């Protein structure tokens, strides 16, 4: 059952992913292509080119990719100067003996595989950063505390999950992370089990939202393991989000959105906020016999 499921901002890249599946391509190629398209989208300020910068005004990207057939995975963190973080993550998986490479090592790998180096900070994002942070003379820690006030502001991520003709699953996650973050801060997106997990036997899941919480609770892995115990995707998404309500969050809503896909192509998405303005309120998907993608509401799971 060919299927692609994505966070709502993935609608932009979903046709690329779908075309690959329809042409008989692999789920891995499909999720990479979908994420690459979103990384190219200059209107998406949460992923790839034109993403939100860190506290120093530098764009740092995180991404991961996972192959459900083998549970091989690759990830990059704090990648500067290369927009296609997902392709570099795939190179970590396929061309190195490692699973996660960060910072200058990730940039080195990007150069080695022929990715183009460029400045990812657009004029618009520079203006945004300069207006919010630019004039501050405070030290780094004070700046991060002052300008990175609420993890629920100024972030976003793209998630892709897919099943190909051979029944293989794959998942891809890419983000510029939390706006004005501390340099070197990694969210959940490059952490396998936190923001991304995929296993042909049980299904796949990927998150967007407050990355620190998904790291603390292994949220994507929680959802997939719920399916391993027999939960449907909707039940698995609910279990994984409910688990976050146990974490102390200084009174803030534990903002999290999750997309979940079973090996048979059943899917669901859930969110901890009922706010309809958030990019996480809906999700995009396409399955066999559909001529175009659909956008559906997520389940709302609240404390």
Please report, as ranges, the residues that interact with ligand ASP according to CB under 6 A: 155-157, 175, 177-178, 187-189, 195, 208-209, 211
Nearer to ligand ASP by Cβ, of 81 and 154: the residue is 154
Closest approach of ligand ASP to the CB of residue 161, in Å: 15
Nearer to ligand ASP by Cβ, of 175 and 272: the residue is 175
Closest approach of ligand ASP to the CB of residue 268, in Å: 18
Closest approach of ligand ASP to the CB of residue 134, in Å: 22
Max Cα separation, the chain? 58
Closest approach of ligand ASP to the CB of residue 215, in Å: 8
Report the first-to-last Cα separation within the chain, whole angstroms: 34
Residues forming a β-bridge with 234 = none
Catalytic machinery residues: 157
Nearer to ligand ASP by Cβ, of 148 and 208: the residue is 208
Residues forming a β-bridge with 70 = none
Nearer to ligand ASP by Cβ, of 25 and 57: the residue is 57
């Amino acid at each position: 059952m060919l299927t692609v499921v994505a966070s709502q901002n993935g609608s932009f890249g979903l046709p690329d992913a779908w075309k690959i599946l329809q042409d008989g391509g692999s789920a891995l190629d499909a999720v990479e292509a979908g994420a690459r398209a979103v990384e190219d989208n200059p209107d998406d300020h949460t992923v790839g080119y034109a993403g939100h910068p860190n506290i120093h005004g530098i764009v740092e990207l995180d991404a991961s990719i996972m192959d459900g057939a083998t549970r091989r995975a690759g990830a990059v963190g704090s990648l500067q100067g290369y927009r296609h973080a997902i392709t570099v993550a795939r190179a970590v998986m396929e061309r190195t003996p490692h699973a996660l490479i960060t910072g200058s090592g990730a940039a080195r790998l990007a150069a080695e595989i022929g990715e183009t180096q460029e400045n990812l900070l657009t004029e618009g994002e520079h203006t945004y950063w300069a207006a919010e942070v630019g004039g501050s003379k405070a030290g780094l820690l004070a700046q991060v505390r002052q300008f990175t006030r609420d993890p629920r502001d100024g972030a976003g991520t793209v998630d892709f999950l897919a099943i190909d003709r051979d029944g293989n699953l794959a998942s891809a996650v890419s983000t510029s992370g939390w706006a004005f973050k501390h340099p070197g801060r990694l969210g959940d997106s490059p952490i396998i089990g936190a923001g991304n997990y995929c296993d042909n036997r049980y299904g796949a899941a990927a998150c967007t939202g407050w990355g620190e919480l998904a790291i603390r609770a292994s949220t994507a892995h929680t959802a997939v393991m719920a399916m391993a115990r027999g939960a449907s995707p909707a039940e698995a998404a609910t279990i994984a989000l409910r688990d976050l309500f146990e974490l102390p969050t200084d009174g803030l809503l534990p903002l999290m959105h999750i997309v979940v896909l079973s090996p048979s192509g059943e899917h669901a998405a859930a969110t901890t906020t009922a706010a309809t303005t958030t990019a996480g309120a809906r999700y995009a998907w396409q399955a066999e016999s559909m001529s175009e993608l659909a956008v559906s509401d997520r389940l709302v799971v609240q404390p």
